[in-house]
């Protein structure tokens, strides 16, 4: 099982390789990051680390024993005891339970290490895999939303409940 690691400066090359290799795969279900993300990756990576150091976000990578990034599980927009959860798993690693394991572990870290009490997440209705991960990890569906022009659902998880 890959190890969940907090984002570090030395992850930059492996993370960029992960994002490039999976760009089209991710764009099929979530908005594309755009060319500027890849062109300015070094600056973006440094900015993410600064946000993490300031406690505004918590970024995590699922890393295989050879250092290859297989996924990301992030907490962004940290404020007032809450954050938004986002995750993505490489196409080659999909269907192996990595998203569920990564989200489960990040929820534990959110409560135990980061002092958070609530998490939010969103996904499109046509992303059955993401909806299943959120259900398996204790998120409750809420209001219907629009996400990048597509129908979706907002989810929430009360970390004080300590379920799933």
Task: Provide the pLDDT for residue 34.
Answer: 85
Q: Is residue 137 part of a domain?
A: yes
The band of 163, judged by pLDDT with boundaries at 50, 70 and 90, is very low
Per residue in 81-138, pLDDT tens?
Answer: 999 999 999 999 999 999 999 999 999 999 999 999 999 999 999 899 999 999 999 9
81 within 8 A of 97, measured Cβ to Cβ: no
The pLDDT value recorded for residue 47 is 96
- Does the pTM exceed 0.75? yes
Q: How confident is the model at residue 162 (pLDDT cuts 50, 70, 90)?
A: low
Q: How many domains does the chain have?
A: 1
The parent domain of residue 112 ranges over 3-158
Q: In this structure, is residue 129 part of a structural domain? A: yes
Percent of the chain with pLDDT strictly greater than 70: 98
Whether 123 is in a domain gets the answer: yes
pLDDT at 30: 77
Q: What is the CA radius of gyration of the chain?
A: 15
Rounded distance, CA 72 to CA 63, Å?
Answer: 9
Residue 164, domain member (yes or no): no
Residue with tokens 């080659």: 92
Measured torsion, CA atoms of residues 122, 26, 54, 2, in degrees rounded to the nearest 10: 100
- Any domain includes 65: yes
CATH number of the domain that residue 11 is part of: 3.40.630.30
> Has residue 33 been placed in a domain?
yes
The verdict on residue 116 lying in a domain is yes
Looking at residue 139, its pLDDT comes to 98
In a domain, residue 95? The reply is yes
């Amino acid at each position: 099982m890959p190890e969940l690691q907090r984002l570090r400066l030395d992850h930059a090359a492996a993370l960029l390789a992960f994002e490039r290799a999976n760009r089209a795969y991710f764009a099929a279900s979530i908005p594309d990051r755009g060319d500027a993300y890849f062109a300015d990756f070094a600056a973006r990576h440094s900015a993410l680390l600064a946000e993490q150091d300031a406690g505004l976000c918590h970024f995590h990578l699922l890393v295989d024993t050879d250092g290859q990034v297989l996924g990301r599980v992030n907490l962004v927009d940290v404020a007032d005891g809450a954050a938004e959860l986002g995750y993505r798993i490489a196409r080659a690693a999909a269907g192996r339970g990595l998203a569920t394991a990564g989200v489960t572990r990040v929820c534990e870290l959110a409560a135990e290490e980061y002092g958070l009490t609530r998490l939010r997440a969103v996904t499109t209705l046509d992303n059955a895999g993401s909806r299943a991960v959120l259900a398996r990890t204790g998120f409750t569906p809420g209001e219907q939303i629009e996400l990048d022009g597509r129908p979706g659902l907002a989810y929430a998880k009360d970390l004080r409940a300590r379920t799933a």
